[in-house]
Structure 1
Amino acid sequence: MDIIVIEDLWKVYKNGIEALRGISLRVREGEVFSFLGPNGAGKTTTIKILSCILKPTKGKVTVAGYEVPKDCKKIREIVSVVPQEFQGFSDLTVRENIQYFAKLYKVNNVDDVIEELGLKEHQNKKFGELSGGLKRRVAIACGIIGNPKLIYLDEPTVGLDPKSRRSIWEIVKSLKDKGITVFLATHYLDEAEKLSDRVAVIYKGKIVKLSTPSELVDEFKKENLEEAYLELMRQLEADDQ
C-alpha cells in the first residue's frame, strides 16, 4: 500500500520561483524512503507540503488516503516532523520536553519512549546541556510520542560524530521494525545507502531518479551510492551548461 502519493506537484512562490516543477512519486507503507538532492532542490518544500505547512500550487497529494490540503487536520494526527533544527525547551529536562509533546497528543507513554530511545539515564538532564547526539534523540522521541504512521526526518544526523550517527541509524531501523514509514531527507549518502529501501533524487524541483540504492549504484557502475550520486550530479550540471 502507498502511504504517500504525489502526482504532478508544483510549488511556485509569490516571487515566481518554482520550487517544485511537476514531481510525482509514491512512498510505500513501512519503508524507509530517502529524499536526496542538493540544497535548494526542493526537499524541504516537499516535506512542508506533505506535512501541511505549505499549500501546493497545483497537483495532487495524498497521505494515508487523505488529501492535502483538504484533510490536513486528519493528516496532522498521523504524521510527525522532526526538523533539522529541533527547538527543544532548554531549561526543561529531557523528560519534561517529552511530557510536553505527550500532553499535546493526549498520550501516556513517556516511560516507554524514554526507554526505547535510550534516554533513561539522561531523563533528568536539562535539554540545553545535552550533546548534539542526545538532542537529536530527544527530538525523535518527541516525534514518535504520538504513535505516528509516518515520520519525516530532515537531516537527522547532520553535525553528529560517527558514534552518534550510528545510534540514530539504529533508531531509524527500529522505527521501520515497528511499521512506521520513515521519509528521510539527508545529504549523507552512506546513510541513505545503509537505511533506505528506495531513494528519490530531486534536482531543481524535478525528480530525476527513483530507485533502490543498489539499482542506482549499478546504473552508474560505481562502488557505492555516494559515487553514483556524484556522477549523476556531474551529468546534470553538464547538461545545464
Structure 2
Amino acid sequence: MLAIDMYDVWKTYRNGTQALKGLNLQVEGGEIFSLLGPNGAGKTTTVKIMSCILKPDKGKIKILDKEIPRNCGEILREVGTMPQEFQGFSDLTVRENIEYFASLYDKDINIDELIDMFELRKYEYKKLRELSGGFKRRVGLASAISGQPKILFLDEPTVGLDPKARRSLWEIIKKLRDKGITIFLTTHYLDEAEKLSDTVVVIYDGKVVRRGKPGEIIDEFKKETLEEAYLELMKNLEGESDG
C-alpha cells in the first residue's frame, strides 16, 4: 500500500514563485524514502503540503489513503515530524520534553520505552540545553514518534552533527523503519541518502527528474557514489536550462 501518493501537484506563492510544477510522488509503506534536490527545488514546499501546513493550488494528494486537505485532522494524528530546527523546551528535562509531546496525542504511550529506545536513560533528568547536538536530535526523534506515527517526516535530521553522531542516528532511523514506520527524509548529505534509502527521488525546478534505488541512479551515471551521480545529474540539468 502507498503511504504517500501525490499526483500533478502545483503550488505558486503570492510573490509569484512557482515552487511545484505538476509534482508526482509515490512512497511505499514501510520504506526509507529520501527527497533530494538543490535549494529552491521544492523540497520544503512538498513536505509542508504533506504535513498539512500549506494547501496546494491543485493536484491530488493522499496520505495513508486519506485526502489532503479534506482529511488533514485525521492525517495529523498518524504522522510525526522532526523539523531541521528542532529546539524542544531547553529548560525542561529530556523526560519532560518527551512527555509534553506525547500528551498532544490521545494514545497510550510508554515514555520509559521511548527513553530506552533512544538510549536516553542516563540523561532523562538533564535539561535539554545541557545535551550535545546528537542527543538533542535523539530527543527530537523520540518526541516525533511519541504519537506512534505511521509516517515520520525528517527534515535534514543529521545537519550539524559530527560523523559519529550522524552514524548513530542512522542506526536509529533504520530501527524505526524496521518497526514498520515509513520514513520520509530530506537531506543534503548524499552519503546519508545512499546508506539509508530504499528509494531516492530527485526534484529540480518543482518536478521529479529521477527516481530509483540509490544503486540504480549510481549505475545510470556510471559513478562510484550517489553524490557523484547527483552532481552529474545537476550539471546536465543546469546545462539544459542554460541552453
TM-score, normalization by structure 2: 0.98
Shift of 1:105: 1.1
* Structure 2 counterpart of 1:38: 38
Shift of 1:128: 1.2
* Structure 2 counterpart of 1:142: 143
* Structure 2 counterpart of 1:84: 84
CA contact (8 A) 1:4 1:63 kept: yes
Shift of 1:87: 2.4
**Aligned CA-pair RMSD:** 0.7
Shift of 1:108: 3.0
- Counterparts of 1:136 and 1:83, CA distance in 2: 10
* Structure 1 counterpart of 2:17: 17
Shift of 1:54: 0.5
CA contact (8 A) 1:102 1:145 kept: yes
In the TM superposition, structure 1's runs of 4+ consecutive aligned residues that sit over 6 Å from their partners are none
* Structure 1 counterpart of 2:205: 204
Shift of 1:159: 0.5
Cα deviation 1:100-143 (Å, max 9, x = unaligned): 01111133311000100111111111111211101111000000
- Counterparts of 1:102 and 1:17, CA distance in 2: 37
Report 1:137-216 matches (<5 A).
Answer: 137-216=138-217
Cα deviation 1:59-102 (Å, max 9, x = unaligned): 00000000000000000010011100012101000000000011
Cα deviation 1:186-221 (Å, max 9, x = unaligned): 000111011100100011111100111000000000
Amino acid at match of 1:24: N
- Counterparts of 1:140 and 1:65, CA distance in 2: 25
Amino acid at match of 2:225: N
- Counterparts of 1:140 and 1:228, CA distance in 2: 30
Q: Secondary structure at 2:77's aligned position in 1?
A: helix
CA contact (8 A) 1:102 1:109 kept: no
Gap runs ≥5 in structure 2: none
Amino acid at match of 2:169: I
CA contact (8 A) 2:109 2:147 kept: no
Shift of 1:25: 1.4
- Counterparts of 2:122 and 2:160, CA distance in 1: 23
Report 1:62-73 matches (<5 A).
Answer: 62-73=62-73
Q: Secondary structure at 1:9's aligned position in 2?
A: strand
* Structure 2 counterpart of 1:2: 2
* Structure 2 counterpart of 1:122: 123
* Structure 2 counterpart of 1:55: 55
- Counterparts of 1:125 and 1:47, CA distance in 2: 32
- Counterparts of 1:114 and 1:198, CA distance in 2: 29
- Counterparts of 1:191 and 1:125, CA distance in 2: 29
Shift of 1:183: 0.2
Amino acid at match of 1:22: G
Cα deviation 1:29-66 (Å, max 9, x = unaligned): 00000000111111111000001011011100000000
CA contact (8 A) 2:20 2:207 kept: yes
Between the two proteins, what is the percent identity of the paired residues?
A: 62
